[in-house]
A and B are shown apart, each in its own frame.
Chain A
Amino acid sequence: MENSPNYLDPRTLASVQGLELRARLIVEGYVAGVHKSPYHGFSIEFAEHREYVPGDDLRHVDWKVFGKTDKFYLKQYEDETNLVCHLLLDTSESMRYQSALAPLSKLEYAKCAAAALAYLILQQQDSVGLATFDREIRALVRPSSHSAHLKQLLHVMEESVPQRKTATGPIFHDLAERLKKRGVVVVLSDLFDNVASLVAGLKHFRHRRHEVIVLQILDPAELEFPFERTTLFKGLEQLPEVLTDPRSLRQAYLAEFEKFLAAVRSGCRNNRIDYVQIRTDQSLDVALSSYLASRMTRMQ
C-alpha cells in the first residue's frame, strides 16, 4: 500500500479520469489511511454478508459462518438509514477558477469531494442527495441510500457547467424549505457572495434542524495573491475588470480577503455551523474527515 499512489492528493487525482473512479479511490485511500472501516451498519435486521477487511469491527464478524466456511464474514443489516446527507454543490462561474498553483479547479475539486462523500455515505447505507446551484437551483437529486443512486449523482455532477453568478442566500432559503428530511447539509462552495445573505441562508438550515458543514473551497492563489507582473484581472460572474500592478495591491487585497473569511467564519461559528476551509492543492481527506466527525457527533 505504501507504494501505491496517494489518491487523496489532488495532483494525483487530476490524472485520473472519471468521477466515479476518483470517488472510489479517494474513499478507499482514506479508509486505508485511517485503518478503520467506516462500513458498519446500525440496524437490527440482517441483510447480507460481506467479506471481512482489515480494520472492520470484530464485533460484527459472523462466527457461525466462520465455523462453517472457515472464512471471516461480517453481518450486514438492512434497515432504514437514520442519516440523510444533502450535498449542496456550488457550480457558479467563480468556481471555474484554477490558478497555476492548483492541479484542479475549485469546481473539479468540489466535485471530487462531493463524489467521495456520496460514495462513502452510500457505502454506509446512509442516504445522500445532491443539489447543484448558482443563482438558482440547477439540479436537485432526492436523497436515497440505494447503491445505484451513486451513478445518478455522479451523472448530475458531471453534467453541471459553471456559467452563472452565485446567489447563495436565496438558494439556501429555497433549499431549506425543500429539504424536508432532517440531516446533514454539506455545502461545497467558495462562498463568494454577500456574507450576510449567505449566513442568513445557512441559518435557515439550522433553523430546520439540519447539521450544516461548510466546506469553503479556495484556490491557493486567492489566498496568497502571488502575482508580480502588471495584470488585467477579468472578473468572473459579470464583475468588472481591473488593470493593476499586483505587487502594490497585494497587502490591501489580502486584508480585504481576510476580512471576508473572518466574516464567514464568524457567521458559521455563531450559528454552530462546521466550517472548513480547503485549498485546492490540499489533500481531499479533509472533506471526508470533517463529514465523518460531524456524523459521529450526530450519532452519539
Chain B
Amino acid sequence: MLGWLAAAAAPLLIHLWNRRRYREMEWAAIEYLLAALRKNARRVQIEQWILLAVRTLVIALVVLALAEPFVERLGLSATGNQRTHKLLVLDASFSMGYKPTDKSRFERAQELAAQIVDEASAGDGFTLVLLANPPRVVVGSPSFEPREFKAEIANQHLLHAGSDLAATLQLVENVLSQTEREHPRLARQEVYFLSDLQRQAWLPAGGAAGQLGQIRQLSKRIADRAALAVIDLGQTDSDNLAVTRFRAAEPLATLDRETTLEAEIHNFGRQPRARQLVELLVGGNRAGETYVDLPAEGSAIVSFPYRFDAGGEHALEILAAGDPLEIDNHRWLALPVKETIRVLCVNGKPAGGSFQQTTDYLTVALAPRSGDAPGGVRPEVITESELAERELAQYDAVFLCNVAQFTGDEARLLEDYLRQGGGLVFFLGDQVQADNYNRQLAGDAGGPRILPARLGERAPQAQYRFDPLEYKHPLVGPFRNQEQAGLLTSLVTDYIRLTPHAGSAQVALAFQNGDPAIVAESLHGGRSLIVATSADTSWTTMPVWPSYVPVVQELLAWCAGARLQERNTLVGQPLAGIATPVGKAAMVRNPRHELLAVEVRDRGALAEWTFAETFTSGVYALEPAGATSPAALYAVNVDTAESDLAPLTAAELRSEVWPGIRFAHQTSWQNLDEHPAAEVTRQNKLHVWLLTAVLGLLFCETFLGWRFGHR
C-alpha cells in the first residue's frame, strides 16, 4: 500500500508533461513579456516549487490516510474502523475500595469499563482480567455480547488482595496471544488498565528490581501486540490509616492468665491524626477501646490486656475506623483459647527418686503454678514405649527427653504430628543414640526429616556457657536485658554437637565455642526444636537456675505457636490443615457467610484439606460436617503493603515502569466522564487528521494558485 507513495511524484510528472504539452502562439508584444519574465523569473520558479510541493504533499497524505493499517503495523500509529479486541484490566486490589465520594474507585472503574464497552464498535470483542494478587482472568475468550460482558463487569467484587502486576501482565499477554490465535478477525488489540496506579504495585520498591524488569519486559511484549491505555483513578491526596499488625503477645492464650493483645495502627497520610479511636471486638462485641495519636506517616501500638472467660475458638477484631478506605481499618485474629495446654513429656530414662527422672525439672518448669490456678499447662509424662499408643494430636507440644532411639513407626507418628501443626522439643542426654536419631529423624535413611539438625559426637566434658547470638531468635528474645535471669551464667558440662540442617533451620542459642545449643525449624506445618544438652541436671546446671522456667516456657510457646500461626493468614493465601475422616466433608463459611467446599488431598496416612478462595478479609470458619465438633476459626487479613495509597505519576509511569512504551494516559476524573476510550480512539483517527490536512492543503493550493496567478 505504501508503494502508492510513489504517486506523490504525479504532480511533478504532470508539471513536466505540461511543459512538453504547451501550445504555440505568435505574439507581437513579446518584448514586454520578455521584460516581465526577466524581472520575475526567480519568483515564478519559487511559486512553482511551492505549488508542486503542496500538490505532492496532498497525494502523499491521501496515500498515508488510505494506508493507515500498514502504518500501524510499522508502529507509527493506530487505526480505527476494524474489529478490535478490547482487553479490560480492572484493578480489584483493595486500594480500589477507597471511597472519597459516594462511589469507590472500584465502582468508578466498573462504570468506566462499561462505558468503554458502550463506545466500542459493533463486532468488537471484550475480555476481562482482574489486577490483584493473585490476578484472575474473568473473561478469557473474547465476548461479542456487550450486554452480557457489562453484566460480568458489574458482578465483580473488590478483592481484598494486593496487586501482583507482573503476574497480571503475564495473564494479559496470554489472553492477547490466545485471541490472536483463535480470533484472527480481531485485527487490532487494545488493553485498558483501569487502576489507581498505586505506587507499591506499579513500581516495586528497592530490592524488587528483578520484578520491575519482569514488568517492563512483559509490558514491552504486550505493547508490541496492542495499544495501551491507562485510565488513572488514583488521587494524590489520599489519606489512609490501617491496622498493620494484630497479635497476641503470648503465643498461647489460656484462661488462667490475661492475654495481651497488641495492634499496630499506621497512618499513611501526610497529616497527623489525633485521638484516633481504636476498638477491640471479641466475638463481634466491643471488649475495649482506646485513643491514640498517630504521627504523619507513622504508627502507634495499642495493647489490650484481656482475660478470656471461656475456652475454645475466638475471633478477635481490631477496628480503627474513620477514613475513606474501609477495608484495612479492620484486622482479625483467630485465637484458640485453651482451658489447659496439654504437653506430653516422654521420659527416656525413668528413675525412682524425686527429681531423678529426666522429666522432673521439666514438668515443674512447664507448670510452675499448676496447683493454684484453673487451666494453665498440664504436662503428662509417659515412657518412650508408650509413645506409639498416644494420639499426639490432642497435645499442644511433645517434649522428648533423653529418648534413646526411635522406630520407623514412631518417626512417622511424629511426622504426622508435625503436619497437624504440632510442636516437638528434643532434649538429649546420655542415652541418645546419635546414629538412630540421624537415621530415623534426620532423613539419613530417606525417611521423613523431623529434626532440625543432625547429631554428631558428644563434646568433651567441660564447662560451657551460652552465647545468646544477640538475642535475635524469638526464643531467646525475652532474655534481652534480663541478665539476672541467669541464662548466660548457666553451665553446661556435656552436650552433643549439632549440625543444623541447611535451609530453614535456625540456631536460636549457641555455646560460646560456637557450637549450636538450640536449633529450631518450622517443618511440615509444625515446629521442631532440639536442645543439645539434657533436660535434667545430668549435663547442665540450667534446670536449677532461674532461667530454666522462662526458657522452657519460651520453648513451649514457640513450638505450640505453629497452630496459632496457621490460623492467621493473608488474603489470597490458602487455608490448610490435616483432615480428619469427619473433616473431609467439612465446609468453609467465608466472611460473606457463603458455605464453600474445601479441597481434600491424600498425603500418606493423612489427608490434607486446603481452601484457596480467601479473597475477602475476615473470619473464615471451618465447619465439620454434621456439626460434630465446633468450627475452627481462621483469620484472613489484608496485606497492608496495599494500604499506602501514594500513586505513581504519569511521568514516573512513562520513565520508570514503561520506558519507551507508547500508551495513552488519562488522569482527570472529570474528563473521564466524557469518553474513557477517547485518547486511544483518537490514536485510531490518524486518517481523519490526514484527510483534514489534505483538505487544508487543497484550500491552500487553490488560494496559492489564485494568488500566484494574479501577480
Contact = CB atoms under 8 A, between A and B. Distances in A.
Contact of B37 (A95, A106, A244, A260): A244
Contacts of A94: 28-29
A233 B711 contact: no
A257 B711 CA distance: 14
A4 to B, nearest CB: 34
A236 B35 contact: no
A260 B32 contact: yes
Nearest to A244: B37
Contacts, number: 105
Contacts of A239: 30-31, 34
Most buried by A among B31, B35, B709: B31
B40 interface: yes
A126 interface: no
A253 interface: yes
B33 interface: yes
B537 interface: no
Interface stretch (B14-22, B124-132, B315-323): B14-22
B217 to A, nearest CB: 60
Contacts of B33: 233, 242, 244, 249, 253, 256
Interface stretch (A33-41, A45-53, A57-65, A224-232): A224-232
Given A229-B23, A232-B24, A245-B44, A252 B31 contact: no
A252 B39 contact: yes
A285 B24 CA distance: 34
A172 to B, nearest CB: 19
Contact of A235 (B27, B35, B48): B27
Most buried by A among B19, B34, B36: B36
Q: Which size class do A's interface residues fall under?
A: 35 or more
Interface in B417-438: none
A192 B33 CA distance: 13
B268 to A, nearest CB: 73
A106 B28 CA distance: 10
A171 to B, nearest CB: 18
B30 A248 contact: no
Contacts of A252: 36-37, 39-40, 711
A173 interface: no
A250 interface: yes
A231 B26 contact: no
B22 A248 contact: no
A259 to B, nearest CB: 8
A240 B30 contact: yes
A3 B355 CA distance: 161
B440 to A, nearest CB: 108
Contacts of B18: 230
A34 B22 CA distance: 48
Given A222-B28, A230-B18, A248 B709 contact: yes
A32 interface: no
Most buried by A among B19, B30, B35: B30
Given A232-B24, A232-B25, A249 B30 contact: no
Interface residues of B, number: 28
B603 interface: no
A219 interface: yes
Contact of B23 (A95, A231, A250): A231
A248 B29 contact: no
Given A248-B48, A252-B36, A233 B30 contact: yes
Given A230-B18, A233-B25, A192 B31 contact: yes
A155 interface: no
B73 to A, nearest CB: 42
Most buried by B among A227, A233, A244, A257: A233
A236 B26 contact: yes
Contacts of B710: 250-251
Given A248-B47, A252-B40, A219 B32 contact: no
A255 B36 contact: yes
A42 interface: no
Contact of B29 (A96, A222, A240): A222
Contacts of A249: 33, 36-37, 40, 44
A71 interface: no
A243 B19 contact: yes
Interface in B506-561: none
Most buried by B among A97, A235, A243: A235
Given A231-B23, A247-B708, A97 B40 contact: no
Given A248-B48, A249-B37, A236 B22 contact: no
A256 B28 contact: no
A243 B25 CA distance: 10
A120 to B, nearest CB: 28
Given A249-B37, A253-B36, A243 B22 contact: yes
Given A231-B23, A239-B34, A248 B28 contact: no
Contacts of A255: 36
A232 B22 CA distance: 6
A253 B26 contact: no
Nearest to A230: B22
A234 B44 contact: no
A256 B36 contact: yes
A190 interface: yes
8 contacts: A97-B27, A231-B24, A235-B31, A240-B34, A242-B34, A244-B33, A248-B40, A252-B36
Interface of B: 18-19, 21-37, 39-40, 44, 47-48, 708-711
Q: Which 9 A-B pairs have the closest CB atoms?
A: A235-B30, A252-B36, A247-B709, A97-B28, A94-B28, A233-B27, A256-B32, A230-B22, A253-B36
Interface of A: 93-97, 106, 190, 192, 219, 222, 227, 229-237, 239-240, 242-245, 247-253, 255-257, 260
Given A227-B25, A234-B24, A251-B711, 19 more contacts: A94-B28, A97-B27, A231-B24, A233-B26, A233-B30, A233-B33, A234-B27, A236-B27, A239-B34, A242-B34, A244-B37, A244-B44, A247-B708, A248-B40, A248-B44, A249-B33, A252-B40, A253-B33, A256-B35
